[in-house]
Each structure stands twice: as C-alpha cells, then as structure tokens.
Chains A and B, each alone.
Chain A
Amino acid sequence: MAEVILKNIKKVYPYVSGEKKKRKKGGEPEKKTNLQITDEGVVAVQKFSLDIADKEFIVLVGPSGCGKSTTLRMVAGLEEISDGELYIDGKLVNDVAPKDRDIAMVFQNYALYPHMTVYDNMAFSLKLKHMPKAEIDRKVREAAEILDITQYLDRKPKALSGGQRQRVAIGRAIVRAPKVMLMDEPLSNLDAKLRNQMRAEIIKLREHINTTFIYVTHDQTEAMTLGDRIVIMRDGYIQQIGTPQEVFNHPANLFVAGFIGMPVMNLFDAKLIREGQHYFVELDGHRVHLSEEKCARLAAKNVESQDVTLGVRPEHIDLAEDGVSARIDVSEMMGSSVHLHLSAGDRDMIVIVPTVDMQGLPHMGDTVCFSFKGNVAHVFSKEDDKNLEF
C-alpha cells in the first residue's frame, strides 16, 4: 500500500566490453529496434514520469522492446536507474536494494524454487524475516486458501501445471503483503482459456489484497480489463497515460490508435475541412460533420483545414444506403457479429456488423456503402501522427 512516483526515469544499457570499439570501427550497428543508440549505449527507457496512487492498478503495455519490463525491473530494483528519481511511499529508493523496497514481483516464467515445496516457496521470504513459525503458517495457509492451492502445499513445483505454478508465484508474492505488487507478463505462458480464467482471478485478487499493482503486458485485452489506468509505451517513451476508456476513445496518436482495440482501427487518407467553428472530414467525396465536442477541441487548438489521417474503429462503421462504396473481400462470421474485410480503392479495412442488424449475410464480392458518425472519427496529423484534438 504505497504511492509510487517515477520522475524522468531513464535507462541506458551501456556497451559490454569490446562492443563500443566494434561500433566505432564498423560504423553504426545494425538496429534491431527503434531504441535510441548513443555513445553511452542503448537507451531503453527515457523521460518516464508517472504518479501511481496508493492501491491503483497500473498496466504498462506496448510491443516487445518498448521498455515496459525494463521500467518494471527498475521499480523492483533489479535494474539500475541511469537517471531520474523513483519514490516508493515518499522515500527515494534509487539506490535501495530490492529486498529493502518492500515490494513483491511475479515473473513471467514463475521463477519458483524447484527444490522447495509449494509451502516452502511461499514461506521463504517470511522465514528470512525471522517471523514466528505460527505466523508464517497462518499467512501461507491464508494465501493458499485465497488462491485455492491448499491441496498442493506439499508438492514440488515440477508436479504442478502451468496455471497452478502461476498461482503459487502469486501466492509467494501476496504472503508478504508488499507495499507494491509487480507483475511481469504473468499470464503470457498460459494457454488462452487459462489466461482468461487467471485474468478474472487477478481481478478478484484485488479485492483481497489492498495494494498498489504495476502490471506489464503486451496484451491489450489484459491491459483494458485489469488496469485502472494504462500506460502505453513505444521505443522507450510513454505514448499515452489514461483510463482504458480514455485511451480507447481518445487515442493520443496513431500508434495508440492502432495498438488499442481489436480489430485494429481503420485508417484512411482524408481531408479535414474547417468552416468557421465547424469541422468536417471528407473521404472520397463523402463529408461527415464532426461532433460538437470534437469541433470545440479542434477550434480551441486553432486547427486549420489540412490533409489528415482519419481513424475509425471497425465497430463504429455502419453499412448504409449512402456513403463510401467498398467491395467485400472476406466475410467472417463470429457468432454475435460478422467481420467484413472491405477494400475501397487501394485501402483495406474491417467493419464489424452485429448479426442482429443484418438482413441476410452479405456475400464476398458484393459492393456495399459505409458511413460513420462524427463523434467516432479521429483525425491525426500527417506530419507527426498526433491526434489533432490534443
């Protein structure tokens, strides 16, 4: 139970011996990611500032190599902080050892001690604190009860399934009643069904343990369902911080728009037209008036008419009598809805149509017209991919 404050955190991985020389000799090294490479080394995280409130559930999300795990490991104390300040419960902990930060971490690969029983795994940290035996026993059994692993307490980790091992790993973390609970992609080693089940259990777990959570994942569904707030990262930088609803409804840039939401947002080359205090987007001659709220934001920023990238989510596009025409390439029946893959000119897009709204299934090759409302259209700058409303 603690507030966590990250101020301008930066992480640079210095070159290992010989690597810098090689780099100077052979020029620029081959880039595997878009991370910034300086004379000091590879910059994995930079300008990371975030205030995490007490008992808040924060999710760091982003593609592989974006720096989310590095950030989490810096909070854990497993990585040195190159620059910036990290406060836990008001105390600067940059140079505090992991064991003295009063935090617990659940690892992606469980990281259980293979030579110890489940009970000993869970009791290990408490034993190191010289806690009385009866107290340890009570805490371990209480945590085991919450996670429904009481019957496995005498087993070794190798005798457990993946899901059970992950419960033990969570149990090992919660017995300590840490100030901050860190979770590094804890569900990514589980199959889809188990992942859904464990996700629900983590939500329930929050009711039992009142602590601050920092959760890392690359799965946007996990991020949306678990987080009070989501931090979306890319190439070491924060792209947007907000509640799941905020990042979904108001993506700060094209990256966030594309990363959050499944299927991904449809993007079109369109024109933004300003007429006084009113804004329109024009797509293939079809004009849509933006909502009052959006117009007010654009006007406040004095955005002028320009070419833009228009983003509309598949679930916000309607098939209509009048609108932009497109051809159906593929039709996927998903049960409650149909995913239509359309091509309009040289653009590919997806439209989700609820089956209740359909009068007969459309056929592949049919031509349809689509439209969208002004309150669900997102306009992004062609220059820097930023949402023009921000």
Chain B
Amino acid sequence: MKQNSLSGERRTKVILQIVLAVICVIYILPVLTVVINSFKQNTYVKSETFALPNEESWNGLENFIKGMTFGNYPFWKSVLYSVVITVASTALILVFTSMAAWYIARVNSFFCKVIYFLCVFSMVVPFQMVMFTLSKTADKLHLNTPWSIPVVYLGFGAGLAIFMFVGFVKSIPISIEESAAMDGCGPVRTFFRIVLPMLKPTLISVGILEIMWVWNDYLLPYLVLDINEYRTIPIHIQYLKGSYGTVDLGATMALILLSIIPVIVFYLSCQKHIIKGVAAGAVKG
C-alpha cells in the first residue's frame, strides 16, 4: 500500500518535471530561434526557421554587419541613445522614488496616503490609454529628446518603484533612523548614509526591472522622440525594412540578439538580488 503511494508520488513528480521542462522550452524557444537565425542566410530564415544553421545556410557574421550598416542611420547612435535613456531614466527613478517612498512610509499624513494610492493606481492604467495625450504633452514640454525623455520614464516608472520601496522601508525599524538622528544626522544624511544603503536589495531589483523595461521599450520612444533624429535600438530594428515592405530577417535577428545580450548578461549577474529584493519586506527579519 505504502509502496503504491510512493510510486504514485514519484510518477506525479516525473510528470510535473516533464510539464515544466516543456514550459521552459516554450519560453526559451523565441530566444533560441533568434540566436539560430541570426547566423543563417535570409532565405533559410523563412524556410527552415527552427533548423540549426548548416554549411549551406551559415552566413557567419554577415547579418550582424549588414544590420549595423543598413540604411543611413548609424547603429552606434542608436546604441548610444538607448544607453543614455536607460541609464538616465533608471538613475532618476531610483533616486527620486526611493526618497519619495521614504517620505511616504515615514510621514503619516493624508497627503502621503493620496500620493501613495495615486502611484499604485498609475500601475493599473495601460500605457495605450494615455499615449496620445502624452506624446502631445511631451512635445509641448520639449521632452522629446534622449536627454529629456527620462523625465517621462520617471513618471511611468514611479508607480511600481514607489510601491516596492514603500514596502521595504516600512519593514526597516524606525529606531535605526532615530538612532542616526541622535548620532548627529539630519534628514538628508540619514537618507543617504543610513536608509539608502539598507535599501540596496530593493534598489537592485527595481533597477533591473526598470533597465529591462526602458532598454526594450519601443512604443514610448517611438511616440515621443523625433524619429528622424533620435532612434533607440528597438526603433532602429524596426527600420530594417527594404522597399515594398521586405524585411531582412537575418539582419533583424542579428540586431535583436545584439540588443538582448546586455540585458540577459545584466539580469544573470544580478539574478540573486532580484529574488532578495522581491521577497524583501515581506516578513520582518
């Protein structure tokens, strides 16, 4: 009887493992397809999409060179703008929202409650609902350059970031800040010397989430930026089109691979902090 139930349990485990393995493959397949096809000739991308490159279809680094030199807009410029926008937006979000979250978590006033609920509410408003009014407003306020668009990202990223930071700050005993006050810290010093270092796990996880979002974002820069002058990598990839709408899939795949490599490397190197940050504040340590 006991043996039967044991073997049944083992069977369930095996089935579960198979199901999870299949799900993993489904998740990894698009990335794998991009990697495989970025080294194949254009014609083989369409006809043998899931096949590994062979002697016949192998195109070496041709697709990468083609993708980077296509059209009259230099690829390095797109990379530069993507980096500038991503770094500036993430930095802005981290600095401002962590400070705001500290204030919201520590000051028990009606105003703070309203701000907090507005931030949480902003997370449930889909971008498509506000995109046209936003692009108009951004134009009017001259937020349509890579140097000013981080302000727009700050507005959109603040909701999630504040939500995460407030949760974590609330789990920090207030006596630590009181202790700092007695040691001789004013509010600014208390924040930068005591609170901010303690927020490190959340800073990293919010940072990773924001970097992945801003780096891969297509719609917001497409609507806000002057496309002829400023293109981020996702926009640059979209312009890999020939006449009559023909698309060089090999080159497109190569550029997609180039664009996702930094994010994947960054994610893998900070993976443990994401788990820490997401779990942080859930229970009192």
Contact = CB atoms under 8 A, between A and B. Distances in A.
A98 B198 CA distance: 22
Nearest to B182: A98
Contacts of B175: 107-109, 111
Contact of B176 (A16, A77, A105, A111): A111
A111 B178 contact: yes
Interface string B175-208: 1101111111110010000100110100000000
Contacts of B178: 76, 78, 98, 105, 107, 111
Contacts of A125: 182-184
B212 to A, nearest CB: 26
Contacts of B189: 128
Given A111-B173, A113-B194, A105 B182 contact: yes
B197 to A, nearest CB: 4
A99 B184 contact: yes
Contacts of A109: 173, 175
Contact of B183 (A17, A18, A128): A128
B110 A124 contact: no
Interface of B: 108-110, 173, 175-176, 178-186, 189, 194, 197-198, 200
Nearest to A78: B178
A99 B190 CA distance: 12
Nearest to B199: A115
Contacts of B180: 113
Nearest to A105: B182
Given A99-B186, A172-B179, 5 more contacts: A16-B109, A98-B182, A115-B200, A125-B184, A128-B184
B283 to A, nearest CB: 15
A104 B200 contact: no
Contacts of B109: 16-17
Given A107-B175, A111-B173, A124 B198 contact: no
A78 B181 contact: yes
Interface in A70-91: 76-78
A111 B172 CA distance: 10
Contacts of A105: 178-179, 182
Q: Helix, strand, loop or mixed for chain A's interface? A: loop
A201 to B, nearest CB: 21
B135 to A, nearest CB: 38
A129 interface: yes
A114 to B, nearest CB: 6
A63 to B, nearest CB: 21
Nearest to B197: A115
A103 interface: yes
A97 B190 CA distance: 14
A75 to B, nearest CB: 11
Nearest to A178: B182
B197 A107 contact: no
Contacts of B194: 113
A107 B200 CA distance: 24
Nearest to A110: B175
Contacts of A97: 181
Interface string A49-85: 0000000000000000000000000001110000000
Counting chain A CB atoms within 10 Å of each CB, the highest count among B108, B176, B180, B182 belongs to B182
A112 B175 CA distance: 9
A109 B174 CA distance: 10
Given A16-B108, A18-B110, A115-B200, A99 B176 contact: no
Contacts of A78: 178, 181-182
A85 to B, nearest CB: 21
Nearest to B183: A125
Contacts of B182: 76-78, 98-99, 103-105, 125
B173 A17 contact: no
B176 to A, nearest CB: 5
Contacts of B181: 77-78, 97-99
Contacts of B186: 99
A104 B178 CA distance: 11
Interface in A119-139: 124-125, 128-129
Contacts of B173: 109, 111
Nearest to A116: B197
A16 B107 CA distance: 11
24 contacts: A16-B109, A17-B110, A18-B110, A76-B178, A76-B182, A78-B181, A97-B181, A98-B178, A99-B181, A99-B184, A99-B185, A105-B182, A107-B175, A107-B179, A109-B175, A111-B179, A112-B179, A113-B176, A124-B183, A125-B182, A125-B183, A125-B184, A128-B183, A128-B184
Nearest to A106: B179
B34 to A, nearest CB: 40
Contacts of B176: 111-114
A42 to B, nearest CB: 15
A108 B178 CA distance: 12
B107 to A, nearest CB: 11
A43 B130 CA distance: 49
A133 B110 CA distance: 45
A175 to B, nearest CB: 10
Q: Which 4 A-B pairs have the closest CB atoms?
A: A125-B183, A111-B175, A128-B184, A111-B179
A111 B185 CA distance: 15
Nearest to B173: A109
Contacts of A111: 173, 175-176, 178-179
B141 to A, nearest CB: 33
